[in-house]
């Protein structure tokens, strides 16, 4: 199964947190393989307190012989390993945030795992890196591909800046 995963960090060595998160994830998923990785983007915080540091964000795609629920549990375990507390204030700063964006064409409305990610199509900091690796992807419930969803956003495009 193909899985899209968004990664974000705004505490400590943000780039290292993302690298470690990818490495730990791949180590924890038997048979998992990284097949695509987007560039890094620095992103203005969204819905966070005014003093929140900018995020580094990226998106990866892996293939793995597991269910979305199994992968989701592994994502949460990696976040915990890298210091993200299970109980936390919404939109609080974090060493690592891992979000399962999609799992092939699976649609789930389970409160523990909604697929595709419910706000994915509204967030430039996810769509921009996703468009790097899968611009033609049409997510379940959407009619337009990722590249078109990105072009149709009405937010400030300078809020997400590619890191050279």
Average pLDDT value for residue range 111-118: 94
Q: Could you tell me where the DSSP H helices lie in the chain?
A: 14-28, 68-81, 124-133, 146-151
Q: Does domain 2-162 have CATH number 3.30.70.560?
A: yes
User: Averaged over 125-131, what is the pLDDT?
Assistant: 97
- Contact indicator for 92, 44 with CB cutoff of 8 Å: no
pLDDT tens-digit profile of 15-58?
999 999 999 999 999 999 999 999 999 998 877 777 788 999 99
Q: How many Å apart are CA 45 and CA 21, to the nearest integer?
A: 20
Output the pLDDT for position 86: 65
- Rounded to an integer, the average pLDDT of 128-137 is 97
Residues 137 and 16: their CA atoms lie apart, in Å, by 28
Q: Give per-residue pLDDT as tens, 57-102.
A: 999 999 999 999 999 999 999 999 998 656 656 555 789 999 999 9
Query: Residue 114 has what pLDDT?
Result: 95
pTM of structure: 0.93
Residues 74, 68: Cα–Cα separation, whole Å: 10
Q: What pLDDT score was predicted for residue 80?
A: 92
């Amino acid at each position: 199964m193909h899985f899209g995963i968004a990664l974000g960090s705004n505490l400590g060595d943000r780039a290292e947190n993302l690298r470690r998160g990818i490495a730990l994830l791949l180590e924890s998923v038997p048979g998992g393989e990284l097949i695509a990785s987007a560039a890094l983007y620095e992103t203005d915080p969204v819905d966070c307190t005014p003093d929140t540091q900018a995020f580094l964000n990226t998106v990866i795609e892996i293939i793995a012989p597991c269910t979305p629920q199994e992968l989701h549990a592994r994502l949460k375990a990696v976040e915990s390993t890298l210091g993200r507390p299970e109980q936390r204030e919404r939109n609080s700063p974090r060493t690592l945030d891992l979000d399962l964006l999609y799992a092939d064409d699976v649609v789930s409305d389970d409160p523990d795992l909604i697929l595709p990610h419910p706000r994915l199509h509204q967030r430039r900091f996810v769509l921009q890196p996703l468009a790097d690796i899968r611009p033609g992807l049409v997510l379940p419930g959407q009619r337009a591909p990722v590249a078109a969803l990105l072009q149709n956003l009405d937010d400030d495009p300078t809020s997400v800046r590619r890191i050279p």
